[in-house]
Amino acid sequence: MNQLDATFAALADPTRRAILARLIQGEASVMELAEPFAMSQPSISKHLKVLENAGLISRGRDAQRRPCRLEAKPLAEANDWLERYRKIWEGNFQRLDALLGAMKAEKAPDSTDQ
């Protein structure tokens, strides 16, 4: 699986997106990340493993703690990929707006005919 596929697969799960949102605030332990969820620590660890394999988080060593931290590069790459398509869609919408404006102008009654 390439990096972009791994990123989108990891982002497909709402729990993993919530974990990433929490890590925006700074690093956190597995227990801290598990707090808001009604799931076991092994379940959270599975989600963290998916995020780590996708390169979206990294885990450090701090004595007994293994804090998780957000890694921005895969998200930036996904954003770059999405940005190309956003530009295409914006261009399509601008052309559609222009076409609708022209059609509306053609249908408008000529005020000089009255």
- Write out pLDDT tens, residues 75-104: 999 999 999 998 899 988 999 999 999 999
- Residue 41 domain-assigned? yes
> Is pTM, for the whole model, over 0.85?
no
Residue 67 lies in a domain: yes
- Domain-located, residue 57: yes
The C-alpha atoms of residue 88 and residue 103 are separated, in whole angstroms, by 23
Same domain, 78 and 53: no
pLDDT score at 1 = 60
Does the residue 86 lie in any domain?
yes
Q: How many domains does the chain have?
A: 2
Range of the domain at 58: 3-71
**Per-residue pLDDT reduced to its tens digit, 18-43:** 999 999 999 999 889 999 998 888 89
**Tokens, residue 9:** 């697969």
User: What does the DSSP 8-state code read for residue 62?
Assistant: B
The larger pLDDT score, comparing residue 52 to residue 112, is at 52
Same domain membership, residue 81 and residue 63: no
CB of 19 within 8 A of CB of 43? no
Packing angle, helices 3-11 and 41-53, rounded to 10: 150
End-to-end CA distance of the chain: 67
Q: How far apart are CA 79 and CA 62, in angstroms?
A: 31
Same domain, 65 and 81: no
